Amino acid sequence: MKNFFTKALFSLLSLASTLVYGGNGSSGGGYITGNEVNPWFLHNTKTVSYCIEVAPEFSDIPKDKLAPMIEDAFAYWKKVFSLTEAYYSIGESEKLDLRLGTQDFKQVVTCADSTDLKFQFGFMTEEQKGSWPKPSQLLAGAFRTSYDEVNLKGEGVIYIAPERGPLRPRARKFHPKPWSFGSHNALRLTLTHEIGHIFGLQDDHYSSGLMSARFVQLLTARESVESIEDWVVKSIASPFGCNDNLEAEYYSIHDVAGDEELRPHVSSTKAAKKSGRLSGGIDDILGLPDYTESYTLYFLTRDREMKISLNGQNYARIVFSPQDFLMGVEEDAIQLLLTDQQKVFKGIDPDEYDVSHTIYDKYVSGQIWDVTLELANGKTLPVNVDFDQACHVEISTVYEGKLIHIID
């Protein structure tokens, strides 16, 4: 299923010849070890102070508009973490509180040495410039500046490059005003990505989602900035993928006229590809309407029930029973390394120190087989449901011996 990021990724990957950093400070290649990838804050940190400093070169956005965007990004992550389960143990230790995103983030008026998180819009200190061979290659970044191994708390900087001046990124495809444009959606998404790093998520070199290594580069390209609609910002898929609760809420907009193949379609027949309609058969069974214009599919999955609507009309639903099993490919998402300095957790076996522990996983993909799709017209159909990491859904069935994609 196509979405904005996938489209952007395919159209832009081939254009990106110059390496442009949009990541965190430790992601410049190679294998990351140690506690550098630890979340900056665990449950014992109740409040995180942050401050905002803006250079005149940054953008046309008034300074007072930046804090609400930062607050929105914090709210996004707090919601994601509230819907995503952490592991609760390290080795044989007792149940540990490893939840993330539990903090209150409080803005302070002036940046001070004691401020936990500094947002630097459009400038770097001389020292920071010195740590990059070419600072003007940097689009944005989250850099930890110190880490307290006793209290497991980091401090650092989130940097966003300016639209003007010597630090304006030199990338040929960089939009003239990626942050100032429109309702600042490229900036909102960039902030969300960078704040993801402070929770311990690393750049993902295999996905096209929020934490993709090229996310910021793609967003700020000329081709992208003006096409990021508000709904994209409001419905960012969880970078953890679809978890066991199948929490997913998103829109998918297809422009039928612009698509080579009409969707949804029955891909196994030439007739369907040619006309967008089968000559008869499963589309009638499904009660599929004619698609001559663009349409919107909307999935809402809560409490093990997936509701699917099409152009605002109730289309179908799938009820997952507790026995329905999500088979997924999982990967480490967030890791934590503790040393014997730490005083946050009690009862940790000394063997568990100095090794990385996965505390959050992500589903790269998942399938639920042989569930029942209930259509609004009362018909039912046994289907398989597939999710990709962006929580996009494909629904297929076997019809007359062939695997048929109903929604993809």
Enumerate binding residues for Zn ion (CB under 5 A).
23, 203
Q: How far is the CB of 306 from Zn ion (least distance, A)?
A: 31
Query: Beta strand pairing status for 402-407 and 393-399?
Result: antiparallel
Query: Exposed (0-12), middle (13-18) or buried (19+): which is 400, by Cβ within 10 Å?
Result: exposed
Q: How far is the CB of 193 from Zn ion (least distance, A)?
A: 6
- Closer of 23 and 276 to Zn ion (Cβ): 23
Q: How far is the CB of 142 from Zn ion (least distance, A)?
A: 7
Closest residue to Zn ion in the complex (CB):
23
**Cα Rg, the chain, nearest whole Å:** 23
- Closer of 163 and 203 to Zn ion (Cβ): 203
- Closer of 201 and 407 to Zn ion (Cβ): 201
- Across 280-302, b (16+ Cβ under 10 Å) vs e yields eebbeebebeebeeebebbbebe
Query: Exposed (0-12), middle (13-18) or buried (19+): which is 347, by Cβ within 10 Å?
Result: exposed
- Closer of 155 and 203 to Zn ion (Cβ): 203
Q: How far is the CB of 367 from Zn ion (least distance, A)?
A: 29
- Closer of 23 and 239 to Zn ion (Cβ): 23
Q: How far is the CB of 161 from Zn ion (least distance, A)?
A: 13
- Closer of 188 and 254 to Zn ion (Cβ): 188
Strand partners, 158: 119, 142
Q: How far is the CB of 131 from Zn ion (least distance, A)?
A: 17
- Closer of 21 and 50 to Zn ion (Cβ): 21
Q: How far is the CB of 26 from Zn ion (least distance, A)?
A: 10
**Residue where the block lists tokens 């490919």:** 329
